[in-house]
Amino acid sequence: MTEASSMPSQITDIYLVGLRTDGRSEVPNFYTFLLEQDQELQPLLLEDQVILFTHIELAPQAFALADIPVQFRRPLSLENVYLIDAARTLHLLAYHDEDNEQVIANFLDWCARTLTALGIPLPPAFDVLADLGKHVDQYRVYGDFLSKEPYRRERAIDGVRWCLGTIFSLARILTKE
């Protein structure tokens, strides 16, 4: 191994991610970051945990915890949050057949990136999520896809819940005192 190959790759961009888990809330309940490295987006991790925080003001502490020096070009605010809407994803899957805003695609993409970075494969019981992710990346209408097999919609909903539970069970969550 050469010295250059052992050096960590350079972070070229940082994206603030807001995760809305409470359908009664208008704003995200948790925040994290996606870091662009070698043209790939990776979640902000500390060892084998994704770093989540409850208030935007805790962003510097999240990077300090990960031992990543960072200076923000502009103040962080809700206006520059990339929203991952878990609550709306569950609602859409349960009650609708169309997603014109790609809420489901964005959620599944974030879950896939996070679980991959954590080294956790999707259980075979939830393979429907991988298939659904491919489908909603191309098409806005997904109702026919979910109704092709019995219980596919229910398995997709259970899969979303599994993803959230797994990610949160392996999260380091920063809160205000």
Q: Identify the H or E element spanning 31.
A: strand 30-37
Confidence check: pLDDT of 102 > 80: yes
Q: Phi and psi of 131, rounded to 5°?
A: -65, -40
| Residue 4 confidence (pLDDT) above 80 | no
Q: What is the pTM of this model?
A: 0.92
Average pLDDT in the chain? 94
Q: Which domain range does residue 88 map to?
A: 3-174
pLDDT per residue as tens digits for the range 11-31? 999 999 999 999 999 999 999
Q: In angstroms, rounded to a whole number, what is the distance separating the alpha carbons of residues 122 and 109?
A: 13
What pLDDT digit, counting tens, does each position of 149-165 carry? 989 999 999 999 999 99
Structurally, how many domains does the chain consist of?
1
Question: Please, are residues 107 and 86 in contact by the beta-carbon 8 Å criterion?
Answer: yes
Cα 139 to the chain's mean position, in Å?
20
Contacts of 135 (CB under 8 A, 6+ apart): 142, 145
CA distance 37 to 66: 15
